[in-house]
Structure 1
Amino acid sequence: MIKPPSSFTFKLTEEQIELLRVRLTEQGYDFSDLPYGYYRARKGKGVTMVGLDAYLSGKLVVSGKGAPEVIEFLIEPEITGVAKLGYDEVHNPEAYEPHIGIDESGKGDFFGPLVVAAAYTNDLTAKQLLSAGVKDSKQIGSDAVALKIGDAIVEILGPTRYSVLALGPEKYNELYAKFKNLNRFLAWGHATVLENLLTQHPGCKRAISDQFANAAVLRSALKERGKTIELVQRTKAESDVAVAAASILARAEFLRRMERLGQDAGLGGPLPKGASGHVAALGRKYFAAHGSEALARLSKRHFKTFSEITGEPPITPPNPFRKFSRPK
């Protein structure tokens, strides 16, 4: 059973925080000190418990099973003056209309795959995803939580409402050698998962992705099915529930494959994420023991890190005037 969120965050002014203190005092809340905060207020037990932490930054965190009632009947009408809880369809109706969200994971990681995912949502599934705690995967600090929410997304959407394209390092390197341009490569990946979902939902009119390149690059990568869809590219696209779901699906698959690759390489655990000095040090150690071809089976060959470790020349940037064609 998927649990609804029990924690909510607001940004308040100092005056609003003080007004809230007055109202909470009138309602019999117990106050205590809060590190880096104005106050911590608590009231009730069990299903009625609610806690409010007011920080010096202006952030207010409302938690507990009684949080929705406090937000609906105190914070929104008397403090913020804006009714959002339960009214998101009014403030953001497009989020509940049928559309596809696309995102990827592994783009900036030296080791491991590139994973691109797409999720199709409508009014019902958007509400279910939000209740399951779906948000931008970068805001989920725990890999274990990302994997758990990823499983919930699969349960909610079912097999026909999401598509995942996972390119292990060997396939990634093979395809990058043909594209020799990361934006075109990403556009092809985005177009692939989008086309996959459009076969299941041909009536879908809109798709959203993060802004990684000119929209024309993604448009040119689409086949016939995707030519008429409205493509929306914007910064912080993960604020959209469909993009957030795709983001988590991509991250979850990335994590699973990093674990598998690390175990297969004899590391006793997952490959490290990112492209830090620690990652490069492991790459040098693995190269010294197994050679460049073995390292390429775990990593992205076009990264500068690969050239620095192996001494091989970096992949030459493509001629910008060369005509682009889809790989066979």
Structure 2
Amino acid sequence: MGKRPTFNAPRPTLTQRHINVGRSSLSVGRSGSNPVNSYTHPLSSKQAAELRLLLDELGFQFASRPYTLYFAQKEKLSAAVYGKGPKLLLQGKGIEEFVQFELEPKILGEAKLGYEEVHSPEMFEPHFGVDESGKGDFFGPLVIAGVYVDRGIARNFMDAGIQDSKRIGSDARIHSLADVIRKTHGAIADSVVIGPERYNDLYEKFGNLNSLLGWGHARVIENLLARRPGCPRALSDKFADARVIQRSLLQRGREIKLDQRTKAESDLAVAAASIIAREAFINWLNARGKALCVKLGRGVSGSVKQTARDLVAKHGPAILRQVAKVHFRTAHEIAPESFAAPAPRTEWRR
């Protein structure tokens, strides 16, 4: 087992914080009177075996749980190690102390909790984060959003619990966090909402989703640069060749450094952008559904297809161009005489 590394800076005390740095994630805090405590971290097979011995030494009681290599609990703290990964999930009370004084020094051999700026310094440097919502949803717009952060803003976002919108199950929580982002001093947010009619026209013009995404990302970056000129870098999730965005940038954005990486939502600016984009997507669906007296669902589920059939029966096939992305195979399934079957997918090559 490794020794605990030391740093000159003292480890901060966490009172309310969500941390998602690298490959680990911690959420510690209170929502009203209900504590919310959870922590995940990938383990090697050796670390999983060492952790089992450590938990036994500490007096944890083991029990069987589905999909786990083992599950152990002591008082109000539980540890589940899942076979896929393996991955550790801690839940309950006392997580911070367990991570700092047991897991990190004795199993992981490195101190991460409280040292976010040591492990991910670029997350605290001035930059834009860009993300989208609605890409995989039949109904609704494609929304691309961007958020500017610096060190102080990133710290405020971390304390507020900003995280990838896909990990937030409540629309009310999305609205609450979006409000926090907009009210954070110094933060700048911008979004481009491409409604279905415009989306369908642009998709036919560009011929593929990656080019459309690149165009939308570029527009958001340009808008942010107009309000925060001189920002040196923009980060987004990796969805295609970065040159797609670069070619779409106008003169103002030609000098900015564009970074793309998988799982970019672990960056606080990108996570904030995902929340802003998701809120705009939710708002559009709710407003348009109310106008049509229907519930416009998300994704491409059976209920979404049934809603599409009902709309076509009432308004005719043309309604789909107003509320849905008609290059989806779903449009052809619902109204085959009006919408052609999509061409077979071709793999993108560099």
Greater share of residues in helix: 1
Q: Which residue of 2 aligns with 1:9?
A: 40
Does structure 2 conserve the Cα–Cα contact (< 8 Å) formed by 1:164 and 1:193?
Answer: yes
Match of 2:348 in 1: none
SS in 1 for 2:184: helix
**Could you say which residue in structure 2 is the equivalent of 1:89?**
117
Q: Which runs of 5+ in 2 are unaligned?
A: 1-14, 18-26, 29-37, 344-350
Q: Is the 8 A contact 1:51 1:67 kept in 2?
A: no
User: What is aligned with 1:41?
Assistant: 73
User: Matched residues in 1 for 2:308 and 2:166: separation?
Assistant: 25
Cα pair 1:173 1:300 within 8 Å, conserved: yes
Q: 2:141 is matched by which residue type in structure 1?
A: P
Alignment partners' CA distance in 1, 2:42 and 2:251: 45
Match for residue 46 of structure 1? none
- Counterpart CA distance in 1 for 2:83 and 2:213 is 41
* Structure 2 counterpart of 1:312: 338
Q: Does 1:125 align with 2:153?
A: yes
TM-score by length of 2: 0.78
Cα pair distance change 1:246/1:204, threshold 3 Å: same
Q: Distance in 1 between matches of 2:178 and 2:117?
A: 24
2:243 aligned residue: 216
Residue 325 of structure 2 is matched in structure 1 by 300
Of 193-202 and 208-217, the range deviating more from structure 2: 208-217
Instruction: Quote how far apart the aligned CAs of 1:312 are.
Output: 1.7
The residue number in structure 1 matching 2:255 is 228
CA offset digits 1:80-103 (Å, max 9, x no partner): 111111112112211111111111
Q: Could you tell me how far apart the structure 2 residues matched to 1:305 and 1:22 are?
A: 52
Q: Distance in 2 between matches of 1:19 and 1:303?
A: 48
Partners of 2:145 and 2:185 in 1: how far apart? 13
Could you tell me which amino acid in structure 1 is paired with residue 39 of structure 2? Answer: F
Distance in 2 (CA, whole Å) between partners of 1:145 and 1:13 is: 34
SS at match of 1:40: strand
* Residue from 215, 221, 243 that aligns with 1:194: 221
Q: Give deviations 1:171-221, integer Å, cap 9, x for gaps.
A: 333444544443222222111111111112112111111222322221121
Partner Cα separation in structure 1 for residue 249 and residue 259 of structure 2: 14
For 1:52, which of 79, 86, 102 is the aligned residue?
79
Match of residue 326 from structure 1: none
Taking the aligned partners of 1:147 and 1:51, their CA distance within structure 2 comes to: 31
Distance between the aligned counterparts of 2:212 and 2:71, measured in 1? 50
Q: Where does 1:1-328 land on structure 2 (aligned, <5 Å)?
A: 3-4=16-17, 5-6=27-28, 7-13=38-44, 15-17=46-48, 19-24=50-55, 27=58, 29=59, 31=61, 33-36=63-66, 37=68, 38-43=70-75, 50-57=77-84, 58-156=86-184, 161-267=188-294, 269=295, 271-310=296-335, 311-314=337-340
What amino acid is aligned across from residue 33 of structure 1 in structure 2?
A: A
Per-residue deviation, 1:155? 3.2
Residues paired across the two proteins, number: 307
- Match of 1:224, as an amino acid? Q
Contact 2:138 2:325 in 1 (8 A): yes
Of 52-61 and 215-224, more deviation after overlay is shown by: 52-61
Distance 1:284 1:155 in 2: 41
Please tell me whether the aligned partners of residues 164 and 266 of structure 2 are also in contact (alpha carbons under 8 angstroms).
yes
**Residues 1:276 and 1:93: Cα distance change in structure 2 (over 3 Å):** same
Q: Distance in 2 between matches of 1:238 and 1:261?
A: 28
Query: How far does residue 316 in structure 1 lie from its aligned partner after superposition?
Result: 9.7
Deviation at 1:18, TM superposition (A): 5.0
Q: 1:176 to 1:10 in 2, by over 3 A?
A: closer
Q: Which moved more, 1:197-206 or 1:298-307?
A: 298-307
8 Å CA contact 2:71, 2:78 repeated in 1: no
Q: What CA distance in whole angstroms lies between the structure 1 residues aligned with 2:41 and 2:283? A: 34
| Structure 1: gaps (5+ residues) | 44-48, 318-328
Q: Contact (CA 8 Å) 1:116, 1:190: kept in 2 or not?
A: yes
- Root-mean-square deviation (CA, aligned residues, Å) is 2.7
SS at structure 2 position matched to 1:198: helix
Q: TM-score w.r.t. structure 1 length?
A: 0.82
